[in-house]
Amino acid sequence: MQNYITMFFELLFGFFALLAVTKILGKTQMSQITPFDFISALILGELVGNALFDPNAGILEIGFVVSVWTAIMYISEAITQKFKGSRAFIEGSPAIVIFRGKLIRDTMKKNKLDLDQLQHLLRAKDVFSLKEVEFAILESDGTMSVLKKSDYQTPSRKDMKLAPQEVILPTTLISDGEILYDNLREKNLTEDWLNKQLHEQGYSNVEDVFYAEYAKGEDLLIMPFINRNHKKWDAE
C-alpha cells in the first residue's frame, strides 16, 4: 500500500512539474515544434518516466531531472532569442524549394525532400499542380508556405479577365529591433530611407520596432513592441 501512495505523489509531482515546464518554455514549444523540440520532448518524457518507476528515485530526484532539463532548454531558447545567428543552427532555417515557379533541386536534396513529399505538402495547401506555385518555402518545423502565381490566386485574376500581375515577395527589414542590412541592400534601399519611413509613421527609433516588412508599391508594414500588460491589449 505504501508503494502505491508513494507512486501517487510522484505522479502528481511529475504532472505539475511538466505543466510548469510548458509555462516556462512558452507556447511556441507546443505550437511550432521543430525536430529539435520534438526530440527534446521525447527525452524529457523518457527521463521523467524512468524516474517515476525507479524504486531508488523519489520526488527530489524527479524534481532534479526536470529542473536540469528545463534549465538546458530555457538557456538554449534564450540563446536563440539573443543571438540570431544561433537560430539556424539549433532550430533550423526556412528553405526556398520553389523560386519563381522553378524547383530548386539542390535545396530539396539538402533537406531530404523528394517530389512525392513536396506534392503532399502542396496538396495540404490546396495546390494540386506545381504550375500554380510561384514561391514555396519549407519551414523549420516541416510545414510548407506557398505563394501562388497571380493567375491562380483567389479570386483568380484569370477568371476575371485581368492581365497577369507581378508576384511580390515581401522582405523583412527589421526584426527584433534590429535592421537586416542584407535585406535592405538586396532591395536597393538605404538606412536613411528606412528611418524616414519610420518617422513618417511616428517611430523615432529602430529599437521601438519589433517587425518591419517591405513590399514594392506598398506602405512599409510596421509592428511595434507591445507590452503584454498594456491596457490596450486587455481592452482588445
> Which CATH number belongs to the domain containing residue 99 in this structure?
3.30.240.20
Q: Where in the chain does DSSP place strands (E)? A: 95-99, 102-103, 133-138, 144-148, 171-175, 178-179, 209-214, 221-224
- Predicted pLDDT of residue 70: 75
Residue-averaged pLDDT of the chain: 78
* Same domain assignment for residues 83 and 135: no
Q: Mean pLDDT across the stretch 118-137?
A: 90
- Read off the pLDDT band of 137 (50, 70, 90): very high
* Same domain assignment for residues 74 and 7: yes
- Establish if 165 belongs to a structural domain: no
* Same domain assignment for residues 107 and 181: no
Specify whether the CB–CB gap between 95 and 111 falls below 8 A. Answer: yes
- Establish if 157 belongs to a structural domain: no
* Same domain assignment for residues 99 and 84: no
pLDDT at 80 over 90: no
* Same domain assignment for residues 57 and 15: yes
pLDDT at 179 over 90: yes
Q: Mean pLDDT across the stretch 84-107?
A: 79
Q: What are phi and psi of 127, to 5 degrees?
A: -115, 115
- Predicted pLDDT of residue 88: 61
pLDDT at 234 over 50: no
Q: How deeply is 198 buried, as exposed, middle or buried, from its count of CB atoms within 10 A (0-12, 13-18, 19+)?
A: buried
pLDDT at 236 over 50: no
Query: Residue 79 and residue 163: Cα distance in Å, rounded?
Result: 48
Residue predicted with more confidence, 6 or 229: 6
- Read off the pLDDT band of 26 (50, 70, 90): low
* Same domain assignment for residues 6 and 76: yes
- Predicted pLDDT of residue 25: 57
Residue predicted with more confidence, 87 or 201: 201
* Same domain assignment for residues 68 and 25: yes
Q: Helix, strand or coil for residue 144?
A: strand
Gyration radius (Cα) of the chain, Å = 24
Our count of domains for the chain comes to 3
- Predicted pLDDT of residue 85: 66
Domain residues for the domain of 71 are 2-89
Which of residues 73, 89, 105 is at a domain's end? 89
* Same domain assignment for residues 137 and 113: yes
Please give the model's pTM, rounded to 2 decimal places.
0.53
pLDDT at 30 over 60: no
161: its cell numbers: 479577365
Query: Residue 123 and residue 106: Cα distance in Å, rounded?
Result: 22
* Same domain assignment for residues 18 and 69: yes
pLDDT at 37 over 70: no
